[in-house]
A and B are shown apart, each in its own frame.
Chain A
Amino acid sequence: MAVSVEEVQKIASLARLAMSDAEAHALAPEINKILGFVEQLGEVNTDNVEPTAAVIPNATRLRKDVISDGNKRADVLANAPVAEEGFFGVPKVIE
């Protein structure tokens, strides 16, 4: 199943990757080559096979419902491209 340039643009938009038409044209054949490679999985009979959930059996742990961490606002904001008054700064969201 081949992916068109328009579909590449749609996937890029879902993935929040800005992409020019030229880039989408270049990427479409590469993606199709990879998809062609992985599509051989379709030939494996997986009737009655459960999908892998955990590769090594491990119990889900519970912990006490208490705060174990916190008071790190300065640390959390330390690497923000824009931090203002104790918050992450972003462009205007509401028009």
Chain B
Amino acid sequence: MTDFTDFTAGQIADGVSSGDFTAVEVTQAFNARVAAAEKLGAFIVTTPDRAVEQAKAVDSARAGGKELGKMAGVPIGMKDLFCTDGVQTTAASHILEGFHPTYESTVSQKLWDAGCTMLGKLNLDQFAMGSSNETSYFGNVVNPYRKNGNDTELAPGGSSGGSSAAIAARLCPAATGTDTGGSIRQPAAFTGISGIKPTYGRCSRWGIIAFASSLDQAGPMARTVDDCALMLEAMAGFDAKDSTSLKLDVPQWRADLSSDLKGKKVGIPKEYRMDGMDAEIEALWAQAREWLTDAGAQIVDISLPHTQYALPTYYIIAPAEASSNLARYDGVRYGLRDLPEGAGLQDMYAATRAAGFGDEVKRRIMIGTYVLSAGFYDAYYTQAQKVRTLIKQDFADAFAKCDVILAPTTPTAAFELGQKSDDPVAMYLNDVFGVPASLAGLPAMSVPGGLNKDGLPLGLQLIGPALDEQMVLNAGLAIEERAGFSAKPQEWWT
């Protein structure tokens, strides 16, 4: 029997469209795989029946001679930040436990229209706030990879940790992610998969539970660059329901993929060479420069002088926007209500929010409330938005000299669960390479480059100019072809 779980999304869509196998067969194979992987904690809810129903619809459309979508019969996992009609959507928070949206997010609807089937809702850091998937109310996600000869549980990255773990473990060929400060790229790097955050405004934010609205972007995660291009085409596109949606046609990223980089310049930002950076990541970065040279590109040194200020800028702007966005969870319209005996409305709000939000979410609401409060607004928030302008300008200056930027995705490989959870600032530092592109709204991708000596994946990051996802994908493909990454985690979870 064919083992569909090693197929890429593109292979599944091709096979279903040409009738080599049915969408139902494929979906059942993945449903079984998901059901046997509870130890990974990747899903908050599974929806095997819904997946089969959707697969049957694809198969009957084909039998009826109808034209199929570009992802016909591809089973995917949906990050539990996307509202799905009638299926519990929680943002991994107790405050939304039991929330069943009565509408579908634009991005998830586009994926169903393209022929995808939904295996379930994927775990994440609570409200997408975290880098280790330890802030979920529904438990940790565990990285399918472990160090050689060592049983210690490692973080799958965050916030899209359920997505990254599920793909690496072959529970699904592709999944949605969202990226606010690296939440697609960092988990992709930790689990040996690929993922792209497109330019801010490419994918509609409508129906995605908001964290920091000026930064939040959805994107695909998968095992290959080709699958990322395929899925991004299905997810992107103008949506009148999102005021920041870009009114642009969706390019043919997949058809235009090319790893020939002749005449292209790849910028190496000197500020990303940090003291104390993992020597193996430094070596992989050097190796990637050779790979891209081999693909025909020229390597040039560039400078992004405000890099060191990106994290502090992010940790003002993101909590500020979050404190405002999360004001809606008040125990009135949806989710949890905690009404202490004899309490009035204000006490109900405070009790509900105290009971419903996790510690990291509360921490960020507190920081955000403080930096926006009277007397501090200019010193913190306005100053951060000004530094953000400088960070954006750094990239504009760099892209006058190069076509794409090559950097590591993270300063380390996957760390142990619990290792950084007591020190918020140490946790934040893991996003040092992810945050700058988010602040500037630029397309950025992580592709696996190899394994370190412990057997853990390491990721390489490509950052492109606004709207040039093609350049990012092409450079990613050039690395993918040369890295020949074929590692699979040992299957300890079944």
Report A's interface with B, CB cutoff 8 A.
3, 8, 11-19, 27, 30-31, 33-35, 37-42, 44, 46, 49-56, 58, 60-61, 63, 72, 75-76, 78-82, 88, 90-93
Contacts and interface: CB of A to CB of B under 8 A. Distances in A.
17 contacts: A3-B370, A8-B366, A15-B353, A15-B365, A17-B350, A17-B353, A17-B354, A18-B347, A18-B354, A30-B424, A34-B424, A35-B367, A40-B312, A55-B200, A56-B199, A56-B200, A90-B345
Contacts of A30: 363, 424
Contacts of B371: 38
B366 A56 contact: no
Given A30-B424, A34-B425, A58-B244, A91 B441 contact: no
Contacts of A60: 243
A91 B335 contact: no
B345 A46 contact: no
Contacts, number: 167
A86 B370 CA distance: 37
B346 A44 contact: no
Contacts of A12: 366
A41 B387 contact: yes
Nearest to A8: B366
B332 A31 contact: no
Contacts of B103: 75
A37 B315 contact: yes
Contacts of A3: 370
A80 B333 CA distance: 5
Interface string B184-219: 000000000000000111000000000000110000
Interface of B is mostly: helix
Contact of A52 (B98, B323, B369, B385): B385
A31 B337 CA distance: 27
Given A50-B386, A52-B388, A15 B366 contact: yes
8 smallest beta-carbon distances between A and B, as pairs: A51-B385, A55-B441, A81-B337, A79-B334, A75-B102, A18-B354, A46-B386, A18-B350
Given A15-B365, A78-B100, 10 more contacts: A17-B354, A18-B354, A37-B312, A37-B425, A39-B312, A49-B389, A56-B466, A63-B240, A80-B333, A81-B336
Interface residues of B, number: 75
B99 interface: yes
B370 A44 contact: no
A50 B392 CA distance: 12
Contact of B363 (A18, A27, A44): A27
Nearest to B393: A49
B439 interface: yes
Contacts of B316: 38, 41
Contacts of A75: 102-103
Nearest to B363: A30
Contacts of B385: 51-53
B102 A16 contact: no
B389 A51 contact: yes
Contacts of B350: 13, 16-18
B339 interface: yes
B313 interface: yes
A44 B101 CA distance: 44
Given A16-B353, A46-B387, A88 B332 contact: yes
B424 A46 contact: no
Interface in B313-341: 313, 315-316, 323, 327, 330-337, 339
Contacts of A15: 323, 353, 365-366, 369
A11 B344 contact: no
B379 interface: yes
Interface string B209-233: 0000011000000000000000000
Interface of B: 98-103, 199-201, 214-215, 240, 243-244, 246-247, 306, 308-309, 311-313, 315-316, 323, 327, 330-337, 339, 343-351, 353-354, 357, 362-363, 365-367, 369-371, 373, 379-380, 382-390, 392, 424-425, 428, 439-441, 466
B102 A78 contact: yes
A26 to B, nearest CB: 9
Contacts of A19: 354
Contacts of B102: 72, 75-76, 78-79
Given A91-B343, A91-B345, A33 B332 contact: no
Contact of A61 (B215, B243, B354): B243
A36 B331 CA distance: 33
B203 to A, nearest CB: 12
A16 B329 CA distance: 10
Given A16-B330, A79-B335, A93-B345, A41 B369 contact: no
Contacts of B309: 40-41, 44
Contacts of B101: 79
Contacts of B199: 56
B367 A34 contact: yes
Contacts of A54: 244
A43 to B, nearest CB: 9
B387 A56 contact: no
B439 to A, nearest CB: 7
A44 B394 CA distance: 14
Nearest to B390: A49
Nearest to A38: B312
A79 B441 contact: no
